[in-house]
A and B are shown apart, each in its own frame.
Chain A
């Protein structure tokens, strides 16, 4: 196959088969969706910081949701539902997994492309309609879905339940079906590529931890997302065709008794969280991989405990299928079953701690080069430890019964999953941008971006633990309706201001990302003097990645500061 032929605009930029272009397409889509998700977050904080205060100019943007400038409760519920959906699936899954997975896997294992380039292209063009459908759902009658990103029935199962349960919820389910189809195709491609297309000498135990993470993520996606597809299909039948898979008897909407009987809302929760918890690690594992690769490069040290890191990734992947019940401690599930889920959940702390300690041993006494990439990678370690510790609280059912559905949970998962995932993605962009666009990002803007993001992130989400501990509910529209929550209003105001700062901080990143594509300093082939295989390619590799033969791999990707060598690193591809 000829990989270096001239291509038309359409085959190069739109229906491209090149894994790097497809990766960049995912970046563009994910960043657009992330920007929208960020605006939704700002609107949520606007309501919580200034409950029910009129903002007349917003009426022009949202004529029904913010009629006369005051946010309606229905709109608020749609906002947090869609914020969660967009961020979890369309930013935090698409950017690190579909984006960086596609971009990096062939480069890191010495392959010219993914195993199934056509499937790869198809996978991207399957998720695009999903994203469009999800965005369109804001503009249908009743507004976007409003049953939370977990879409629990009966709220999501009865079309007349609340305005968002109508067309908005239908589009949500259809959009998710597209997402599931795309993501499983992608996962299949990852696994086959990694197992079959490695270059000579690149044994499994010489793969960088980023690729190891993507490998396990591919398997997780392939095995867990079908459960969501099954659940979503049954839910659609309940909504439109009168079945009762999830809907129990005796539900009244207004004065009307619904015809359903015998269904089990708990069944949906089991199906959803059988996907939902692996999904958390689908987001987390790539961030862990990026962090390992980036810390090794900028500490100029081999990653500490490589083998234990690989086994930890596998252990986390396996355990992620056995812990879903910890989301359901208060659902009426058998307490005996709950106790089993406590044990499996706390067991995840072991491989997680292995990773955290290995990072610390890599960092300790190293002369760290503080670049934007390494700062964000250190940020991952910080957020991961903070969020991991609060996870132990929530993973214990006795404590969770108190904290469930409070802001403590919101704080927790914004650290561990959202935060560490996001910081990992930022670290990866700063690190691999030279390979993506052949140019360097501005380090100055990058560091400004890091410090605003890091400080504002803690300012937004750390106080939420306090709010939750004080009893503020997770999905509350106006905390002031309860007398005991009114004294917390200054904290909510503080969080809102910090959230605005956090949002504005991201504009530095967007500016840097788009302007540097044209004006950034030209990048060398290996600007960070990394030992990883992906840096053996030209500064801006073409389709096929290597111009001549693909080099052989002679060692692992973490050969830094080896004694007896002139340089402090020996690349994987040098004999």
Chain B
């Protein structure tokens, strides 16, 4: 809508129709924000403890987990892929950190303990490596992303269980004598009154937004997802772009695993089960097409907020766990249904012009 409407001009029937349509289009476009606003309104009217500073800080901390996963995996989905290994990578990275902090690295019999920052870097690198493996499987071996990452989902979970033989690594606080204290800060520290995971979410979402919308890499991701063959013919290194999307996704998943291990001060091998589904739901709620090529990082962020607000709000209201599942499913279906409606609507709008 580029035309400027003067408030003085009498509203002709045609104009009124156009205005109504443009408002409807706007509402559709902002639907995830709208859904979020409606949810927040609803929950705060139902329970007085919802809109308190304390709860909002807790809520943001919970959202950060889904948001980090969603932002990371947005690249994969924008490029037309899918990453089902997110939850397993989160579990695996936590277990690697737990192993390095509690059991230590064994050289010549004696365990050696690394400082917490190095443990964090190594665990993040492992997440990147799993992502790289996903990328190689998808590009070099032409395994469909759904199958390749389903495979790494199982391998990752199995590896996480193998590291400790199913045991939980307790007490990740570290030991001053081993010079490896400080790890739990990743999940528990506060900066300026806001939990560290929320800062990490904000920072990574900003970086991801820059990457997606302001760099050649971002444009290539959209191009590959939009039309892979065309992208290839344009001289885009399709395989390299795809591999990097999986590496970003794996890295973010590993970060999530470390944050959770920090919060719990323990690494549990089953951590992150079905996180990938939450992340994919958040991305889709944010208006990103699962076929690739269309969507945004901001959308994924809003999607993560919708899922987080819904989850915490329903718990606060004391809604039964079974109903929570039903409601979550309905919200996802509604969101994607409206997505299709918007496509049709915009097409009609263009035709009518």
Q: Do A and B bind each other?
A: no
